[in-house]
Amino acid sequence: MSGIWGKSIRLSIFGESHGKAIGINIDGLPPGFEIDIDGIKQEMARRAPGKSILSTSRAEEDEFEIISGFFEGRTTGAPLCAIIKNTDSISAHYSEMQAKMRPGHADYTGYVKYKGFNDYRGGGHFSGRLTAPLVFAGAIARQMLEKRGVIIGSHIKSIGSVQDEAFDPVNIDAQALKSIRDKVLPVIDDQIGEKMKEAVLAAMEQADSLGGIIECAAVNVPEGLGDPFFDSVESSLSHLLFSIPSVKGVEFGAGFDIAYMRGSEANDELYIKDGIVKTYTNNNGGILGGITCGMPLVFRAAIKPTPSIGREQRTVDIKGKKNTSIQVSGRHDPCIVSRAVPVVEAAAALVLLDFMLFESRVK
């Protein structure tokens, strides 16, 4: 399994949803950085399950234990390894899934790829549970970035057909990005947030689920990060974003809407103010030629509806080689979008830190 990522910092993620623990090994962190443990706990709490009626009732506290690379409050330069114990898994819910493949999940592809030896309980290594260690690593990356002035924030752009306001791609306030983090449902317009809750509850009543879109932004990003062609900011960030379970689409700046524009509309015209080059618009999302230009980095990630739903669905019995049906039991989020917000931010933080550390070492 390809559980390793990174160039300047290298991540190795491990564990399964219903195993003893999940965790991450982070190599390449600079020595001597003072880690704010409470800050990590706050990020972990944003992703943790069982906090509201809109999420699964699986009550994992996501308490982490750092077992290497951290001494007297600071990074040592050695690989930093952390584990998160699984404490509230109920594997009996998944006995039927040993043979019946859940639609929308990786049950079938995992069975084929790993010849039936993969841990199917709770999705095993494919589970969204594995995003907890990613958020842990991203929390450290975020702290390192904020020391350098880079601020990352997100909001739920949509759930189902309910749409929040969009970020102003040219003028994004760092403090506003931080304030959204503290909301139970991170949206710009709280009234829209209430409508999103109503939509999720309506889907729950129908034994169904909803997906949505997360819009993320980073401000004060240095210009000059990224390399064409294969290490562009877009390709590197997309790589990590698509490793998040349920992410099915990524777009930068105006995204797919740019295809409907003329060049005169899509081009971000430049000007200089106080010796700093800026653009009047930001249709390219702060990236040109795969390299950051100094404008806010803006992108969106599409999250598919939770595939585990209470409705009866058609599937196959892979061992009996016959058609059958399945009604998924267990504890599942009716909408995972809100819990995915800190995961998307973690991916952005890790990619930007990776680029910034690489640039500093090259220089």
**Which residues, at least 6 apart from 224, have a Cβ–Cβ distance to it below 8 Å?**
291, 292, 359
Residue type, 249: G
* Contact (Cβ atoms closer than 8 angstroms) between residue 60 and residue 47: no
* Contact (Cβ atoms closer than 8 angstroms) between residue 266 and residue 28: no
3-state class (DSSP) for residue 49: coil
* Contact (Cβ atoms closer than 8 angstroms) between residue 23 and residue 34: no
Among 339, 23, 20, 12, which residue's Cα sits nearest to residue 185? Answer: 339
* Contact (Cβ atoms closer than 8 angstroms) between residue 354 and residue 8: yes
**Binding site residues for NADP(+), as ranges?**
47
Calpha distance 331→315 (Å, rounded) = 20
**Binding site residues, as ranges?**
47, 125-127, 289, 304-308, 331
Calpha distance 341→185 (Å, rounded) = 10
How many H-runs (helices) and E-runs (strands) does the chain carry?
8, 18
Calpha distance 253→299 (Å, rounded) = 6
Question: Would you state the structure tokens that stand for residue 285, as one six-digit string?
Answer: 């999302």
Calpha distance 335→256 (Å, rounded) = 24
Q: Quickly count: other Cβ atoms within 10 Å of residue 325's Cβ.
A: 11
3-state class (DSSP) for residue 232: coil
Question: Would you state the structure tokens that stand for residue 357, as one six-digit string?
Answer: 């550390």
216 DSSP β-pair partners: 154, 299
Give, as one character, the DSSP assignment of residue 81. Answer: E
Distance of CA 361 to the CA centre of its chain: 27
**Binding site residues for FMN, as ranges?**
125-127, 289, 304-308, 331
